[in-house]
Amino acid sequence: MDYKIIVDSSSDLTPELEQKMGIVTVPLHLRLGQQEYMDDAELDLAAFMEEMAACKEKVGTSAATPAAFSDVMTQDAFVVTLSAKLSATYSSAMLAAKDALADIHVFDSKSASAGGTLVALKVRELVSKGLPKPQIIEGVNSFIDNMKTYLVLERFENLIRNGRLGVVKGRIASMLNVKLLLGADGQGEIGLYAKVRGTKAVLDKMVSLIGDSGRKTSGENAVISHCNNQSLADQLAGMIRARFDFKEIFIIPTRGTSSLYADNKGIILAF
């Protein structure tokens, strides 16, 4: 049976990949002070990033609404949302699924950005194999429980202002000029994994974490999301390919939601 796959806009996908994978995106809402934007195909991301850099007020996001999910739950589907501990979007999807006339299952990715993308790719892979629904659910849940997501940011202000990162950690990074290697803690929140000096050192650390994880790489995908940092994403991908045998490494620009939190030059890796 062919299921529709639905994600929220925290999952980073290009229009081409959406079309190829048959994925439908439900937008979150972005806020710059009193201005609100929809994180959809109409968002001028370059202009948004310029306005965000100039904004002196609080910036943040609001969850996708149940109605937005209901509008696309027109056939049997699997839904992937960003971590339920970071957004009410998962609750919105669950409410919509409860009222849907179709057979809907909602996955909490316990991650976001590249992590949500990677889960959606795993759903598509298992659906394409024609597996029974219970087997797909079991396989994806197991994948989520073992998935790793790491991020390195140039700026932390938006995470700090939205309670995603302790102010003390952010100040340490600013004062000592260290790079913080952050990541999903396995429970759906953001944890601190390492403090390193220099770009090369942080890339080396990200690559070493793949080996330390014990995760199988052969036949699996990895995703690197980046906010205006194609060269560093390419460099990281090259280092990973030199050591591991992932089936494919997807390098994808961040959409609005991920760009707001990763900010300019941010890099997110999921495997």
Confidence of residue 196 (pLDDT cuts 50, 70, 90): confident
Alpha-carbon gap, residue 84 to 32, rounded angstroms: 23
How is residue 206 written in tokens?
A: 């990200």
The CB density around residue 175, as the number of other CB atoms within 10 Å, is 8
Alpha-carbon gap, residue 220 to 210, rounded angstroms: 12
Which pLDDT score, from 0 to 100, does residue 175 have? 52
Print the SS3 string covering 222-268. Answer: EEEEECCCHHHHHHHHHHHHHHCCECEEEEEECCHHHHHHHCCCCEE
**Domain chopping of the chain, boundaries:** 4-146, 149-270
pLDDT tens digits along 224-233: 999 999 999 9
Alpha-carbon gap, residue 241 to 141, rounded angstroms: 26
Confidence of residue 167 (pLDDT cuts 50, 70, 90): very low
Which pLDDT score, from 0 to 100, does residue 179 have? 80
Q: What mean pLDDT value characterizes the chain?
A: 92
Buried b (16+ CB within 10 A) or exposed e, 82-107: bbbebbebbebbbbbbeebeeebbbb
- CB–CB of 159/261 below 8 Å? yes
CATH 3.30.450.20 fits 149-270, yes or no: no
- CB–CB of 149/270 below 8 Å? yes
Of residues 196 and 251, more confidently modeled: 251
pLDDT tens digits along 228-247: 999 999 999 999 999 999 99
> Rounded mean pLDDT of 189-199?
84
Quickly name the fold that domain 4-146 has: Rossmann fold (3.40.50)
Residue 42 makes CB contacts below 8 A (sequence gap 6+) with none
- Percent of residues, the chain, with pLDDT higher than 70: 92
Which pLDDT score, from 0 to 100, does residue 193 have? 86
Which pLDDT score, from 0 to 100, does residue 170 have? 54
pTM exceeds cut of 0.75: yes
Of 92, 89, 147, give the one whose Cα is nearest residue 119: 147
Buried b (16+ CB within 10 A) or exposed e, 209-239: bbeeeeeebeebbbbbbbbbbeebbeebbeb
- CB–CB of 151/54 below 8 Å? no
Residue 54 makes CB contacts below 8 A (sequence gap 6+) with none
How is residue 63 written in tokens?
A: 């969850």
Bridge-based pairing of strands 104-108 and 179-184 is unpaired
Alpha carbon separation from 130 to 1, 5, 20, 203, 248 (Å, rounded):
6, 14, 18, 37, 21
Alpha-carbon gap, residue 138 to 102, rounded angstroms: 20
The CB density around residue 168, as the number of other CB atoms within 10 Å, is 9
Confidence of residue 187 (pLDDT cuts 50, 70, 90): confident
pLDDT tens digits along 117-147: 999 999 999 999 999 999 999 999 999 999 9
